[in-house]
């Protein structure tokens, strides 16, 4: 592919704003021009096979959502508390340390309050090992390993007799979640066509929400049993996910980006040809992959390492990719999604009514996420995330104000908080909940996409862990007793997040990875990306080898 090397044509950046000129071969220019010209419908028709494999990645994220929900809701199931807890005040309760441990096993940690800072498992560990595993073995082998671990974890949870055994099962099912969260968005970003890349990558979050919604449905149906099946059905259902996933996995084509980065150009060409029509421009696609991998690293198209993510030329892109998930977790999602029913019951709502309200809001979140596909393509990644955090800050402020009103004796204010929680849920899923996945996968360089996503997964796990451990002490009546006033804290964080997005998160919608690299290299401010034109010029050489 040496003929497709495209050195950059330098321009005088001090001269002021102007088009960014990108040097290119005629082959690459023709391919990218055509990709820009495709409508969404045309792109889907031409690239339906790669998109279908992105749907397989959706499937892994459905399992992610289901498993993360199942591990949390079991403490609210009577038979589970009876089997793993102890009698208290006419009911059964799970020891608080073990409750914390079950959450920590998924997010990463140990079942003791003093071990919060020691992250040894779950999503954090899964994100760490998947970064190394993808580089060495590829996505297919990483997913296989994740399914094997997941199967063992499900067995251990299903047959466990003690909290310690159940905790071990949660660790084994938590690690694959980190793998899925790292593999799915990077694969989808590389396989999806340009005009629908944002919507496809944002579909990862929709899949997680769908998995949670399915989990609520399974929990509701299993509640009619009067024995351990009340909770074991939740775990047994996951074997179905594993069986389907393993059945399809052998046919998963590896991304051409990964293959090229590992010196397997022939296989990359075969995969591109196999996934498209006979008249598809395979040479142009190969030229694009080569240039995206090699342009930013002196024609070295090999896979980069995690350490390279922290080099000066890459650190800004790493911070943008990782911090957007810290923002996502700091919107109040852990509180609203994880403590919604509990919060309503603390406010005086009956358990049955709080559960039905929770299911209803979860359904609204699913709809909001589907709207996010449109928002991301219509308003852009930056616009969706920016205005999303602004609206969330307003919604959280109003929830906090209503909590103060309720505290003064107006119990009707509880329903006002629930209403704004529903509004929050829709806005969250339609904006930052969807956009974060796209922003993290598109802002990394092609060589460092998987290592960067590994760091993103670790950041997500750690930030979730912080909020998950802090919230019980903040909102419980016998501790901080903030209740709904915790919304003020999340709202304040959203204000700072709005500023961060404005200053650092660029608009990558409609940009090829080569164009994104060029704009970062030129230091174009994030708020000017949408106004900056990228001009591709065809380079030829004179006889003396100089560019003309």
Lowest mean pLDDT among 87-91, 102-106, 258-262: 102-106
3-class DSSP state for residue 456? Answer: helix
pTM, two decimals, is 0.81
- Mean pLDDT comparison of 497-501, 535-539, 540-544, highest-scoring range: 497-501
**pLDDT band at 108; cut points 50, 70, 90:** very low
User: Cα Rg for the chain, rounded, in angstroms?
Assistant: 24
Is-same-fold flag (38-252; 311-525)? yes
**pLDDT band at 123; cut points 50, 70, 90:** confident
Asked if 327 and 389 touch (Cβ cutoff 8 Å), the reply is yes
Taking phi first (over 0 means left), then psi (-120 to 50 degrees means alpha), and beta for anything else, what does residue 288 get? alpha
pLDDT tens profile 329-350: 899 887 776 666 666 666 666 6
Query: In this model, does residue 134 exceed pLDDT 60?
Result: yes
- Phi then psi for residue 20, to 5 deg, are -85, 120
What per-residue confidence (pLDDT) applies to 301? 55
Q: Which residues of 84-100 are buried (b: 16+ CB within 10 A; e: fewer)?
A: bbeeeeeebebeeebbb
Query: In this model, does residue 410 exceed pLDDT 60?
Result: yes
- Mean pLDDT comparison of 115-129, 171-185, 518-532, highest-scoring range: 518-532
User: 18: which residues sit within 8 A by CB, 6+ positions away?
Assistant: 11, 533
For residues 153 and 145, give the distance between their C-alpha atoms in angstroms, rounded to a whole number: 12
Long-range contacts of 141-148 (CB under 8 A, 24+ apart): 142/179, 142/183, 143/60, 143/179, 143/180, 143/183, 143/245, 143/249, 143/252, 144/246, 144/249, 145/179, 146/60, 146/175, 146/176, 146/179, 146/180, 147/176, 147/242, 147/245, 147/246, 147/249
User: 476: which residues sit within 8 A by CB, 6+ positions away?
Assistant: none
What per-residue confidence (pLDDT) applies to 119? 35
**pLDDT band at 212; cut points 50, 70, 90:** confident
pLDDT tens profile 480-507: 677 778 889 999 999 999 999 999 999 9
What per-residue confidence (pLDDT) applies to 381? 94
For residues 33 and 394, give the distance between their C-alpha atoms in angstroms, rounded to a whole number: 41
What per-residue confidence (pLDDT) applies to 343? 62
Asked if 432 and 389 touch (Cβ cutoff 8 Å), the reply is yes
For residues 296 and 235, give the distance between their C-alpha atoms in angstroms, rounded to a whole number: 46
User: 62: which residues sit within 8 A by CB, 6+ positions away?
Assistant: 207, 208, 210, 211, 214, 241
- Residue 177: half-sphere exposure toward Cβ, Cα within 13 Å: 31
Q: When comparing pLDDT for 545 and 183, which is higher?
A: 183
Write out the DSSP string of 118-135.
---SHHHHHHHHHHHHHH
**pLDDT band at 1; cut points 50, 70, 90:** very low
Q: Does CATH number 1.20.1250.20 belong to domain 38-252? A: yes
For residues 187 and 189, give the distance between their C-alpha atoms in angstroms, rounded to a whole number: 6
Query: In this model, does residue 526 exceed pLDDT 90?
Result: yes
What per-residue confidence (pLDDT) applies to 14? 41
For residues 202 and 429, give the distance between their C-alpha atoms in angstroms, rounded to a whole number: 10
CA 77 to chain centre: 29
Query: In this model, does residue 368 exceed pLDDT 80?
Result: yes
What per-residue confidence (pLDDT) applies to 3? 40
Provide the token pair at 446: 């092609």
Instruction: State mean pLDDT over 270-274.
Output: 95
311-525, CATH topology level: Growth Hormone; Chain: A; (1.20.1250)
Query: In this model, does residue 372 exceed pLDDT 60?
Result: yes
What per-residue confidence (pLDDT) applies to 546? 47
Query: In this model, does residue 7 exceed pLDDT 50?
Result: no
Percent of the chain with pLDDT over 90: 32
Residues making up the chain, counted from first to last: 548
Asked if 393 and 494 touch (Cβ cutoff 8 Å), the reply is yes
What per-residue confidence (pLDDT) applies to 486? 86
For residues 241 and 215, give the distance between their C-alpha atoms in angstroms, rounded to a whole number: 12
Query: In this model, does residue 109 exceed pLDDT 50?
Result: no
Lowest mean pLDDT among 75-89, 93-107, 166-180, 277-291: 93-107
- Ordered by start, the domain boundaries in the chain are 38-252, 258-294, 311-525
Query: In this model, does residue 300 exceed pLDDT 80?
Result: no
For residues 518 and 445, give the distance between their C-alpha atoms in angstroms, rounded to a whole number: 11
Percent of the chain with pLDDT over 70: 79
The burial of 542, by beta-carbon neighbours within 10 Å (0-12 exposed, 13-18 middle, 19 or more buried), is given as exposed
What does each C-alpha distance from 412 to 184, 344, 347, 349 come to in angstroms? 43, 12, 10, 11
Lowest mean pLDDT among 273-277, 452-456, 535-539: 535-539
For residues 176 and 106, give the distance between their C-alpha atoms in angstroms, rounded to a whole number: 10
For residues 192 and 346, give the distance between their C-alpha atoms in angstroms, rounded to a whole number: 45
Query: In this model, does residue 313 exceed pLDDT 60?
Result: yes
Write out the DSSP string of 381-423.
HHHHHHHHHHHHHHHHHHHHHHHHHHHTT-TTHHHHHHHHHHH
What per-residue confidence (pLDDT) applies to 9? 39
Q: When comparing pLDDT for 502 and 447, which is higher?
A: 502
Query: In this model, does residue 236 exceed pLDDT 60?
Result: yes
């Amino acid at each position: 592919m040496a003929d497709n090397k495209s050195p950059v044509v330098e321009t005088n950046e001090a001269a002021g704003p102007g088009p960014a000129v990108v040097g290119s071969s005629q082959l690459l220019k023709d391919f990218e021009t055509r990709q820009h010209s495709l409508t969404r419908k045309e792109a889907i028709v031409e690239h339906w096979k790669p998109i279908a494999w992105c749907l397989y990645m959706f499937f892994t994220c459905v399992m992610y959502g289901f498993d993360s929900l199942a591990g949390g809701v079991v403490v609210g199931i009577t038979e589970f508390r009876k089997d793993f807890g102890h009698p208290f005040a006419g009911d059964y309760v799970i020891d608080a340390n073990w409750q914390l441990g079950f959450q920590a096993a998924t997010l990463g940690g140990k079942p003791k309050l003093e071990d919060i800072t020691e992250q040894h498992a779950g999503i954090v560990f899964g994100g760490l090992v998947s970064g190394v595993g993808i580089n060495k073995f590829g996505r297919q082998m990483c997913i296989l390993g994740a399914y094997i671990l997941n199967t063992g974890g499900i067995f251990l949870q299903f047959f466990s007799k003690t909290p310690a055994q159940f905790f071990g099962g949660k660790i084994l099912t938590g690690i694959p979640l980190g793998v899925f969260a790292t593999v799915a968005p990077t694969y989808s970003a590389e396989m999806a066509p340009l005009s629908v890349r944002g919507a496809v990558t944002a579909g990862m979050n929709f899949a997680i929400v769908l998995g949670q919604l399915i989990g609520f449905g399974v929990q509701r149906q299993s509640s009619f049993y009067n024995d351990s099946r009340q909770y074991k059905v939740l775990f047994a259902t996951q074997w179905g996910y594993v069986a389907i996933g393993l059945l399809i996995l052998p046919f998963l084509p590896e991304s051409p980006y990964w293959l090229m980065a590992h010196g397997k150009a022939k296989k990359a060409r075969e995969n591109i040809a196999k996934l498209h029509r006979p008249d598809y421009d395979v040479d142009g696609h190969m030229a694009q992959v080569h240039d995206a991998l090699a342009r930013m690293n002196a024609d070295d198209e090999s896979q980069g390492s995690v350490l390279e993510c922290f080099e000066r030329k890459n650190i800004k892109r790493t911070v943008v990719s990782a911090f957007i998930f810290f923002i996502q977790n700091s919107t109040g999602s852990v509180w609203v999604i994880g403590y919604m029913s509990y919060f309503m019951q603390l406010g005086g709502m009956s358990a049955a009514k709080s559960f039905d309200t929770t299911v209803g809001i979860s359904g609204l979140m699913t709809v909001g996420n589907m709207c996010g596909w449109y928002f991301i393509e219509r308003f852009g990644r930056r616009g969706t995330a920016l205005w999303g955090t602004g609206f969330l800050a307003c919604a959280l402020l109003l929830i906090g104000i209503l909590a103060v009103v309720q505290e003064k004796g107006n119990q009707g204010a509880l329903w006002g908080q629930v209403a704004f929680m529903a509004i929050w849920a829709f806005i969250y899923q339609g904006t930052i909940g969807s956009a974060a996945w796209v922003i993290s996968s598109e802002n990394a360089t092609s060589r460092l996409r998987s290592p960067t996503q590994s760091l993103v997964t670790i950041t997500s796990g750690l930030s979730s862990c912080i909020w998950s451990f802090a919230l019980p002490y903040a909102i419980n009546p016998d501790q901080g007793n903030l209740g709904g006033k915790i919304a003020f804290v999340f709202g304040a964080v959203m204000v700072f997040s709005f500023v961060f997005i404005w200053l650092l998160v660029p608009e990558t919608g409609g940009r090829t990875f080569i164009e994104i690299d060029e704009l970062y290299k030129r230091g174009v401010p994030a708020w000017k990306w949408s106004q900056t034109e990228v001009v591709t010029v065809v380079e030829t050489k004179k006889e003396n080898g100089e560019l003309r």
